Amino acid sequence: MGWLFYTDGRVQTYADEKAEIARLCTSHGDTRKTELVKACKVGSTWYAAARVINLDGTPVEDATYVTDADGSITFGAVFLTRYDDGCWGYKDMEESAGPNETRAPLGLIELLSDLKDPDSYAQDWRQRCRDWASIPDYEEGDKIRLATPVTLTDGSTCQIVTATHYRRGRQKRRCYRIEETGGLVRLSKASLAGSELLSSAKGEASPVLAEFLAGQGG
């Protein structure tokens, strides 16, 4: 399915978007109904978990999903969104299509029904979401080794860096100090996948405290 844009201006705010995602994930047929369980926005992408229930109370039979204990199935969906000339639009796909966007929170992934095929596109998508969520959020002073060297704009590479920050106005922005040169570089979260913590700032004594204790010992 391609992009669909709303030209009537009904979607303008975050609340409008969330309400529209809920509407898109809700349907009521003669024998089944679908309802939104959870929706999360990451960047410009919405991730949704939607539950399918048989109206007569019998278990839902599906070729892709294992039926849950309550007789329902819950599947994942991805909604790409953007604004074009003030008009909100979306492009949706189910997890079984193997979406490229893989930043769904683990809390949403855990709501989804088990899959019958361990090698399905949906299973691969869920694992990629888990892999993304497992990338560490390093703290100030943490020294790390990247899984693979990163090539910089000048052609040089770096692999061992220390988490630090720089200021832009009143905001602190995360960056990393290169071990070899002392220069600063900004790294995407994806480039931190598989990285290794070499030393933690938490595990090191404060140099100010160390100086104070040394003075006390004299």
Residue matched to tokens 């070899």: 180
CB 121 within 8 A of CB 98: yes
Predicted pLDDT of residue 160 = 96
Last residue of a domain, one of 116, 134, 152: 134
44 closest CA partner among 88, 97, 105, 98:
88
Please check whether residues 64 and 98 belong to one and the same domain: yes
- Look at residue 3 and give its three-state secondary structure: coil
- What is the Cα–Cα distance from 153 to 169, expressed in whole angstroms? 25
Full domain range(s) for residue 90: 4-134
Are 100 and 78 contained in the same domain?
yes
- pTM, to two decimals: 0.78
Q: Are residues 151 and 126 in the same domain?
A: no
DSSP SS3 for 90:
strand
Last residue of a domain, one of 134, 167, 186: 134
Q: Are residues 128 and 146 in the same domain?
A: no
**Element spanning 14, H or E:** helix 14-24
DSSP string, 164-189: EEEEETTEEEEEEEETTT--EE---G
Amino acid of residue 176? Y
Strands across the sheet containing 184-185: 184-185, 171-178, 157-168, 143-151, 196-199
Alpha-carbon distance 108 to 37, whole Å? 9
> Of 75, 109, 134, at which residue does a domain stop?
134
Per-residue pLDDT 10s for the chain (218 aa) are: 689 999 999 999 999 999 999 999 999 999 999 999 999 999 999 999 999 999 999 999 999 999 999 999 999 999 999 999 999 999 999 999 999 999 999 999 999 999 999 999 999 999 999 999 999 889 999 999 999 999 998 999 999 999 999 888 888 889 999 999 999 999 998 899 889 999 987 755 444 444 545 555 54
Question: Do 126 and 153 have their domain in common?
Answer: no
Residues 105 and 24 in one domain: yes
- Are residues 150 and 130 both part of a single domain? no
Res 1: pLDDT? 65
Do 11 and 119 sit in the same domain of this protein? yes
Spatial separation of the C-alpha atoms in residues 149 and 46, rounded to whole Å: 32
Query: How many whole angstroms separate alpha carbon 16 and alpha carbon 22?
Result: 10
- Pairwise CA distance, residues 217 & 211, whole Å: 10
Amino acid at 216: Q
My answer on whether 44 and 127 are in the same domain is yes
In the chain, the number of structural domains is 2
Instruction: Indicate the DSSP class of residue 46.
Output: E
**Closest listed residue to residue 48, CA positions, set 6, 87, 90, 9:** 90
User: Is residue 130 domain-shared with residue 190, that is, in the same domain?
Assistant: no
Q: Say yes or no: 121 and 208 in one domain.
A: no
Considering the domain architecture, whether residues 128 and 184 belong to the same structural domain is answered as no
